[in-house]
Structure 1
């Protein structure tokens, strides 16, 4: 009897036994099946002291339990557990610089989230994780206090109180050991630095270990690109002031000596003529060694081999250093591998768009050499179609063949039809009502069909258009356009006349390259002119020419577009040249030419510098004495010279209200620097803030007694400067400008604040 009692108390530690059954006690939330998955013993196994210890260690290691015991009741193994509490809620207070969601994401990465099992040991990890995030934001004086409150049903509430403190600013950055370059010149390579006027935006004065690492690499590249082959960063010290508000960075360097290029060699099997490779190497014998030039030269050679079918070519630039002579011999080792061919081009994901629409954009063809450049151009052309949200191209090797690949094109289609209706407002045109139905990929054929209606206080537009981008297999497009436009210049510019214009046009487009295109068209235009009683210029024009005109035009255009985006581009060029001439036999005989240019240059990762110019000229010929003044160019307003009222710059009528009448010569342009807002987030791709300088005017170059200030004079150019805001909002495009005219005259109509909403900007 005593032996039996001792056996019951000691459990399984008294003797080995065969397990007939396993019972788990103490579970509340965790399923018994979870325990059985972790148990290192099953029914029928023989249990000894060593195995019971392993059971306890295994269950503890799950982190689910605060206590585990193993007992025995006959041949039944009993596992008694005490569950750790679950986290019912996590409350974070005092955080201002970092959002709560971001902090909780960091906690979830270390296993602390609502619904998870709470482990007291994790409190230290929580505080360490939060400090890590705040240190990354430059707040080294942060104080964190965590409390845990028990709740019913074995749950806890974790409350974290944060005292952020002030952001530590970089007070000083020192570079020691430099002799060839001044510290000021070297610090230009650093993004980090002391507080400047722009630090509120760039945050360059907030220390970050990652930023410092990038700056040190930029410093290393600076020296290696100037021949300092043995340049070293011997130490980096970062210290913080006692009040944890100031950071001090000291970088010690060893410059070494300058090495020149002694010789340039090619090794391996280039597979292309050597005379084609040496021009790609931008290093010269006798000049200072440059690591970036060597790397870029190797990349250019690799790209050339890739375009010749050697898709897996390997090119390495290996320097051989002569320490005594301070010279470097650079050898480009070339391993082209096998020439690779394309077996098939496969299309996937185009459920609506026909295969032929995709294949005619492909520059990489089947059974041809595989070319990385042609694959890249093919993807770019597919993306520019506008039919797809995403385009991916993979080039898997053909199984069993080392010299063949397939080109798998996968597209994700987006709706190519738009049904739009909107209301907008513009200071120059008043209330805007617009509606349009556009199908860019009509029935999956790639053809474009659109119908648009736009009305405002000053103008009404009705348009039906159709374009077939591949009228011929070579990519020549053909389009038709039917348009009716009524314009009241009294509401638009103050001039007392209006026009009704109807036109029918057929045009063709000829691709010159992937970024260039030429156009040719023929247009019939019906114009009805309505002179106002107060405009002597309009009455004089009607007396000389009549008020109804049937004209036939030849049009020609050239476009080059290498921008990386049609909206908010950051790099590239847009050039447009458009000319039209009324052919002999038309009621009015004149021509107009317009040249536009846009250049976008990335200054930094966020800032873009934009330059624009717009030149327009028109004149008459034959029996028409001068360019019809209702075909004149205008300047001023949000899309021209900001700070001046829209369409008001330039010559005016002599009599009456002296309304602006435009001119037959227009010259406008501007400089602008813009960037996304500093707060980023959802507005990173839809908002731009900018500072600009605008210039421009229009001139009436021919003599006209009813027009004041005729003749061309660059001294009449108007200038303005200011700030701009553009937002591609969910309900329409909004553009604002706050401009200050720099040289306005008494007769000019200035407008400091200008905006438009509901139009494309």
Structure 2
């Protein structure tokens, strides 16, 4: 620090000493009545601050003691480096020297921490723009910043504080950081392990010595917080397997001289393995002992399991809370028989007192309106405290998706032991998004998209979304808005309008397109806290647009010797199913055109659906179940049909690392009222999200001539999947590897008339089940969930060709696609 600030520090110490003596021997004066008080030396501090802090007023008697008290009071303000009082007759002259004021606080080189967060942290302790400069605070901030870097494994981090004086007695404060590289874990040892191998125990840790993916997972970068979490995982592993006296005795971290590598040694004491001999209840259970016994998950005769004990005591506390006993005390007291390695557990309970909820307060919602949060609460003010309703309320607020954190705290009301206040604290996250970019998928090729969505418009809880897709084969424009509380009872309303254009996956020009446009309205009615039923109606139109093939016509003119081939190619571009449904004639292969009796159909679909979701996560689920059912009925216009579907997903955790998942999808559709079933309402199968290893939507019946997939009126898909950590990624749940087995197909009614007729061999082949197996990778990428799969078909249809007519196969073969990827696919 420069010479100016060394003098500043010494002068401050002298001022503190001399100021105390100012009104004594050196400045002893006879008491007198103060006629006026003047202040000298002020630059930014208001004179009123001085007058309000001094214990002396005009008209009062001045004494040496009161002078000393005045100097101490002004020093206590923390605004001055020097304070003196002079007496000029009956006038007091207060002479001050102000502390420098902080003009700006800057950070340089801080990549590990967010600068805004650091600025806020310093502001909370008094280091901020416009505040008086305090070197002691600056030194403490520097040391705390170093400590934070050490906690993240950056042992070589250096922090230098620079104080730069500027005009008008101000300073700029700069924290310059050289972070260096994180210390890498070279070795981890667990000393004292006998019941389990060291490799088994180290496999539980998120931190490791690194692998080929450490550049991404950073699992070999030491962090004290991560080590503590790993030690808790280790403790839980032992406590759930009977070792109730297990403890971590110590953990040492040895750093290499160059501060780049470190070794971690964990010393543990396993203790003996105990078996539960019995469980009994003791205390006051409100006369509901049998109800509480049904909540016990501890199994006598099995090894002691700490998770079961914790789950039981928590279940007891929650059940007490459901009757208003918010502060019930429940303890599991072990009675240990060390001679036989057995333990009896006594569940001691005391409900204490029943309480009411006086108020429910909301904090942290700077954007979201209070009512958006409060309407999700099921615990009401002036009602009995109900733990189940409070947990349900917290979960409902969390499921809104507007917050990164949701916590509910219980605060006792002072002086009123039977009342509490609830404070629901939230941390908001951005709920709007603007997307402008390009994408690529194995089915859709290159596409450009634009989207703007806002899940919490103006903090109202409403959703608004606009999406545009310019895919070569599937173009779309849609606008959707949702009001989750269209009524006060929680009935939601969704309005949407859309316009889509679908073309076949073909590079040839002049084939056909299907245009779908319309709108719909849907209401969601919550029939319970877990079940929602949806009702909706829409108006839609499908337009079939066969197009003239100018390119093929031109080729036929330029190369007349291949004209028949070009005509045949054009005939293969338009599926017979569409020609028949829209009343089209056989394509005019002379002019490369098609004429139809109608070019569009319209309908009024009514929908009813049901959904229940109990998964622990929507992106990376490890447990829980989701079910969806939907019924769509065409009741008006040119389309009369019924289409229903059901989906079931179950996630079963095998252990911390492995999860088994089952997915089943069933669908059925049929026409009524003498109408044909709309072909564009068919189900499709094949590809990601269905039966992997087969080209997207390629399974099931095909057009007799063009071999284009037509889908079917029946669908059955079954997926079985086991996910595990990706090699080298530790226990990172955002990057996983999975193995799978897929079985399924779509089925339809066999056409028996017109030019749709197919042979017996083709129809039998189309009806066979398809199956595949393979491996894949799932990654929660910045662009969304990405899944890549490599599949090998284990049940497929090979192509069978008639040598006399090689253009049209007797039985078409399945379209195989072993490598597939997609962003946003869930299964």
Q: 1:294 to 1:570 in 2, by over 3 A?
A: closer
Query: In structure 1, which of residues 298, 315, 322 is the aligned counterpart of residue 313 of structure 2?
Result: 298
Q: Is the 8 A contact 2:323 2:386 kept in 1?
A: yes
Q: 1:61 to 1:620 in 2, by over 3 A?
A: closer
Counterpart CA distance in 1 for 2:33 and 2:816 is 98
Residues 200-238 of structure 1: CA deviation (Å, up to 9, x unaligned)? 444332323333333333333333444434434333322
Alignment correspondent of 1:255: 270
Query: In structure 2, which of residues 274, 284, 289 is the aligned counterpart of residue 274 of structure 1?
Result: 289
Query: In structure 2, which of residues 479, 486, 507 is the aligned counterpart of residue 435 of structure 1?
Result: 479
Q: Does 1:336 align with 2:351?
A: yes
Cα distance, 1:167 vs. partner?
A: 0.9
Counterpart CA distance in 2 for 1:258 and 1:628 is 66
Counterpart CA distance in 1 for 2:84 and 2:645 is 89
Alignment correspondent of 1:595: 646
Counterpart CA distance in 2 for 1:365 and 1:267 is 32
Counterpart CA distance in 2 for 1:489 and 1:697 is 32
Instruction: State the TM-score, normalized to the length of structure 2.
Output: 0.66
Q: Does 1:661 align with 2:716?
A: no
Alignment correspondent of 2:613: 561
Q: 1:588 to 1:188 in 2, by over 3 A?
A: same
Cα distance, 1:242 vs. partner?
A: 0.6
Counterpart CA distance in 2 for 1:115 and 1:617 is 70
Q: Does 1:496 align with 2:575?
A: yes
Query: In structure 2, which of residues 29, 33, 38 is the aligned counterpart of residue 15 of structure 1?
Result: 29
Q: Is the 8 A contact 2:540 2:602 kept in 1?
A: no
Query: In structure 1, which of residues 191, 207, 214 is the aligned counterpart of residue 206 of structure 2?
Result: 191
Q: Secondary structure at the match of 1:124?
A: helix
Q: Is the 8 A contact 2:544 2:582 kept in 1?
A: no
Cα distance, 1:697 vs. partner?
A: 5.6
Q: 1:720 to 1:184 in 2, by over 3 A?
A: closer
Q: Is the 8 A contact 2:152 2:224 kept in 1?
A: no
Q: Secondary structure at the match of 2:294?
A: helix
Cα distance, 1:59 vs. partner?
A: 3.7
Residues 660-715 of structure 1: CA deviation (Å, up to 9, x unaligned)? 2223443445559799xxxxxxxxxxx98776778466344766652646344345
Residues 95-134 of structure 1: CA deviation (Å, up to 9, x unaligned)? 3333433443344344333322223444533431221232
Cα distance, 1:486 vs. partner?
A: 0.5
Q: 1:607 to 1:162 in 2, by over 3 A?
A: farther
Alignment correspondent of 1:139: 154
Q: Does 1:484 align with 2:533?
A: no
Q: Is the 8 A contact 2:723 2:739 kept in 1?
A: no
Instruction: Give the superposed CA RMSD.
Output: 5.7
Q: Secondary structure at the match of 1:456?
A: strand
Q: 1:65 to 1:334 in 2, by over 3 A?
A: same
- Structure 2 unaligned runs (5+)? 1-21, 427-455, 503-514, 548-571, 590-595, 726-732, 752-756, 799-812
Query: In structure 2, which of residues 509, 512, 518 is the aligned counterpart of residue 462 of structure 1?
Result: 518
Residues 157-202 of structure 1: CA deviation (Å, up to 9, x unaligned)? 3334322211111222222233333322333443333223454444
Q: Does 1:533 align with 2:586?
A: yes
Counterpart CA distance in 1 for 2:604 and 2:97 is 92
Cα distance, 1:25 vs. partner?
A: 1.8
Alignment correspondent of 2:682: 632
Q: Secondary structure at the match of 1:118?
A: coil
Query: In structure 2, which of residues 756, 768, 787 is the aligned counterpart of residue 713 of structure 1?
Result: 768
Q: 1:16 to 1:137 in 2, by over 3 A?
A: farther
Query: In structure 2, which of residues 613, 627, 630 is the aligned counterpart of residue 575 of structure 1?
Result: 627
Q: Secondary structure at the match of 1:280?
A: coil
Counterpart CA distance in 1 for 2:602 and 2:691 is 34
Q: 1:32 to 1:669 in 2, by over 3 A?
A: farther
Counterpart CA distance in 2 for 1:449 and 1:596 is 23
Residues 606-658 of structure 1: CA deviation (Å, up to 9, x unaligned)? 9998653323355799999x977655321246654678664334443242x32
Cα distance, 1:599 vs. partner?
A: 3.7
Cα distance, 1:494 vs. partner?
A: 6.1
Instruction: State the TM-score, normalized to the length of structure 1.
Output: 0.71
Counterpart CA distance in 2 for 1:168 and 1:495 is 64
Cα distance, 1:150 vs. partner?
A: 2.1
Q: Secondary structure at the match of 1:13?
A: coil
- Structure 1 unaligned runs (5+)? 1-7, 501-526, 537-542, 676-686, 729-733
Alignment correspondent of 1:24: 39
Q: Does 1:652 align with 2:702?
A: yes
Q: Secondary structure at the match of 2:29?
A: coil
Counterpart CA distance in 2 for 1:60 and 1:9 is 15
Q: Is the 8 A contact 1:12 1:70 kept in 2?
A: no
Alignment correspondent of 1:523: none
Alignment correspondent of 1:682: none
Q: Secondary structure at the match of 2:96?
A: strand
Q: Secondary structure at the match of 2:612?
A: strand
Counterpart CA distance in 2 for 1:176 and 1:369 is 51
Cα distance, 1:140 vs. partner?
A: 0.8
